[in-house]
């Protein structure tokens, strides 16, 4: 009977450490952050279990380059610039280089970059997709390219995914506005074909329903995660004269567009309308008014995505799908006020 190959998980369990620690010991033997006692425990477990990493995929692709590819939707979006910077910092600390590509919210361009990074023989790819299919990703993975999805998941892709709990964030933002007395709350989503957009909308919708507040379709607008789409959607809401007192925007850029549209209409935030965003990018804390928003744990997402990628490289691309949901946090600033119902 053929014995099942020992996995890196079994080594970690025997040594009493995490999988990422085993990966670091095996792939960075001079890593100054690994204590000698920990290194010895891991190597003893490797010896006892006769662990041998599966290098079949690496042998097909050649020698490791210590370079990973990163594809983000748009470098002009400060949120994705923060994501890129956070991943770059982790890579630098771990001795990896990075090739950064921006798809400019274009699926065809994103697909071309995947092919380009494969030809460059990167050790793996971290990607925040703008909507590529699971078939496209699984085709790439089947050729031995480790892939980790960050910020945006694609159901059916045989790769780890690390992202914030978008549903939780949608609930947090909506519940806060309700607590301030708002019931007529407009919602500006991102592209509705993206899972993150749908989950934020679901959190908004479910929270209103839980509080017995009717969800009005006339208060829903689909945006594209850009400043311009937030401005346009808000202008339409105001022109249509549907009564509302607050807007929950699916990202901060659209929230800034909403604020400007309200100002151009001669109104003020938060005096006339309360605004909540999503992302907590840097400019949200220095805008006027400072933006109340839902923060995503960008640095933790970046670290976990890199470790998930590194573990795939060490394990030989096990193609195990795993989701890592990270909690969001509501950041209260100046763009919302309590509704005075006496007026």
3-state DSSP assignment of residue 109: helix
Q: How many CB atoms lie within 10 A of CB 342?
A: 4
Same domain, 30 and 87: no
Half-sphere exposure (CA, 13 Å, Cβ side) for 323? Answer: 12
Query: In the prediction, which pLDDT does 47 show?
Result: 87
- Strongest mean pLDDT among 26-30, 39-43, 58-62, 337-341: 39-43
Do 182 and 206 share a domain, yes or no? yes
Claim to verify: residue 14 and residue 136 sit in the same structural domain: no
> Are 70 and 149 within one domain?
yes
Q: What is the pLDDT of residue 10?
A: 85
The answer to whether the beta carbons of residues 227 and 256 sit under 8 Å apart is: yes
Name the pLDDT band for 20 (thresholds 50, 70, 90).
low
Residue 30 is predicted with a pLDDT of 46
In-domain check, residue 30: yes
Instruction: Note whether residue 59 is domain-resident.
Output: no
| Higher per-residue pLDDT: 2 or 48 | 48
- Which has more pLDDT, 65 or 292? 292
In angstroms, the CA 115 to CA 260 distance is: 40
Residue 339 in domain: no
User: Do 148 and 201 share a domain, yes or no?
Assistant: no
Residue 314 confidence class, pLDDT cut points 50, 70, 90: confident
- Res 54: pLDDT: 55
> Could you tell me which residue, 156 or 245, shows the higher pLDDT?
245
Residue 191 to residue 220: CA distance in whole angstroms:
12
Average pLDDT over residues 158-166: 93
Helices (H), the chain: 8-15, 19-27, 36-49, 56-61, 78-93, 107-119, 134-142, 166-179, 195-210, 227-239, 252-264, 298-315
Predicted confidence at residue 57, as pLDDT, reads: 46
Please report which confidence band the pLDDT of residue 19 belongs to, taking 50, 70 and 90 as the band edges: confident
User: Residue 29 pLDDT > 60, yes or no?
Assistant: no
pLDDT digits (tens, 9 = 90+) for 182-221: 999 999 999 999 999 999 999 999 999 999 999 889 999 9
pLDDT value at residue 204: 98
Per-residue pLDDT of 53-102, as tens digits, reads 654 444 444 567 899 999 999 988 999 999 999 999 999 998 999 999 99
pLDDT at 142: 81
* Same domain (yes/no): 227, 286: yes
pLDDT bracket for residue 341 (50, 70, 90): low
The whole-number average pLDDT for the span 114-120 is 93
Number of domains in the chain: 3
185 and 234 fall within a common domain: yes
| Residue where a domain stops, chosen among 279, 296, 313 | 296
Q: How far apart are CA 111 and CA 129, in angstroms?
A: 10
Considering Cα of 233, then 236, then 240, then 244, what sign does the dihedral take? positive
Range of the structural domain that residue 23 is part of: 8-53
CATH number of the domain that 35 lies in?
1.10.260.40
pLDDT in tens, 127-138: 999 999 989 998
Phi, psi of 283 (to 5 degrees): -65, -15
Q: What is the mean pLDDT of the chain?
A: 89
**Residue 233's CATH number:** 3.40.50.2300
Instruction: Say what the pLDDT of residue 59 is.
Output: 45
Q: pLDDT higher for 122 or 312?
A: 122
| Domain membership flag for residue 340 | no
User: Hey, how many other C-beta atoms are within 10 angstroms of the C-beta on 81?
Assistant: 17
Cα 204 to Cα 185: distance, rounded to the nearest angstrom: 9
Spatial CB neighbours of 237, under 8 Å, sequence gap ≥ 6: 186, 219, 221, 244, 247
CB count, 10 Å around CB of 222? 16
Q: Are residues 159 and 202 in the same domain?
A: no
Strand order across the 274-279 sheet: 220-222, 185-189, 246-249, 274-279, 292-295, 329-331
Q: Is 157 helix (H, G, I), strand (E, B) or coil?
A: coil
**Does residue 334 fall inside a structural domain?**
no
Residues 292 and 180 in one domain: yes
Any domain includes 333: no
Return the ∠ at Cα 113 (arms to 110 and 117), rounded to 5°. Answer: 145
Residue 267: strand pairing partners = none
Q: What are phi and psi of 178, to 5 degrees?
A: -65, -40
pLDDT at 27: 63
Do the beta carbons of residue 326 and residue 290 sit within 8 Å?
Answer: no
Please state, in angstroms and as integers, the Cα–Cα distance from residue 157 to each residue in 125, 138, 317, 333, 334, following that order.
14, 6, 13, 38, 40
Q: Distance between CA 216 and CA 77 in Å, rounded?
A: 30
Pick 60 or 173 by higher pLDDT.
Answer: 173
* Same domain (yes/no): 286, 309: no
Whether 251 is covered by a domain: the verdict is yes
233 lies in the same domain as 122: no
pTM of the predicted model, to two decimals? 0.80
Let me know whether 42 and 91 are in one domain.
Answer: no
State residue 99's pLDDT score: 96
Question: What is the band of 2 on the pLDDT scale with cuts at 50, 70, 90?
Answer: very low
- Identify the band that residue 163 occupies on the pLDDT scale cut at 50, 70 and 90: very high
Please give the share of the chain, as a percent, with pLDDT higher than 90.
Answer: 69
Assign 343 a pLDDT band (cuts: 50, 70, 90).
very low
């Amino acid at each position: 009977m053929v014995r099942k190959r020992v996995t890196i998980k079994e080594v970690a369990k025997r040594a009493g450490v995490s999988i990422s620690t085993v990966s670091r010991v095996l792939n960075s033997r001079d890593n100054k952050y690994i204590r000698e006692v920990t290194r010895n425990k891991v190597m003893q477990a490797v010896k006892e279990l006769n662990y041998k990493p599966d290098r079949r995929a690496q042998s097909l692709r050649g020698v490791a380059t210590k370079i990973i590819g990163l594809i983000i939707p748009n470098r002009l979006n400060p949120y994705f610039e923060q994501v890129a910077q956070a991943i770059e910092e982790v890579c630098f600390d771990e001795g990896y280089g990075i090739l950064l590509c921006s798809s400019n919210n274009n699926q065809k361009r994103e697909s071309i970059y995947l092919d380009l990074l494969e030809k460059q023989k990167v050790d793996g790819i971290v990607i925040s997709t703008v909507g590529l299919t699971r078939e496209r990703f699984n085709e790439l993975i089947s050729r031995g390219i480790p892939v980790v999805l960050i910020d945006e998941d694609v159901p059916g892709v045989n790769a780890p995914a690390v992202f914030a709990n978008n549903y939780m964030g949608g609930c947090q933002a909506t519940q806060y506005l309700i607590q301030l007395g708002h019931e007529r709350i407009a919602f500006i989503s991102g592209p509705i074909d993206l899972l993150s957009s749908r989950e934020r909308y679901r959190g908004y919708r479910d929270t209103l329903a839980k509080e017995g507040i009717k969800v009005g379709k006339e208060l829903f607008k689909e945006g594209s995660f850009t400043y311009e789409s937030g401005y346009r959607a808000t202008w339409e809401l105001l022109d249509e004269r549907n009564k509302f007192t607050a807007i929950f925007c699916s990202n901060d850029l659209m929230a800034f567009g909403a604020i400007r549209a309200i100002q151009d209409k001669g109104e003020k935030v938060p005096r006339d309308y309360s605004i909540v965003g999503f992302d907590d990018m840097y400019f949200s804390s220095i805008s006027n008014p400072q933006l109340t928003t839902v923060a995503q744990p960008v640095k933790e997402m970046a670290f976990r995505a890199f470790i998930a990628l590194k573990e795939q490289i060490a394990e030989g691309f096990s193609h195990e799908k795993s989701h890592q949901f990270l909690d969001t946090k509501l950041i209260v600033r100046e763009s919302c006020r309590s509704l005075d119902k006496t007026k």
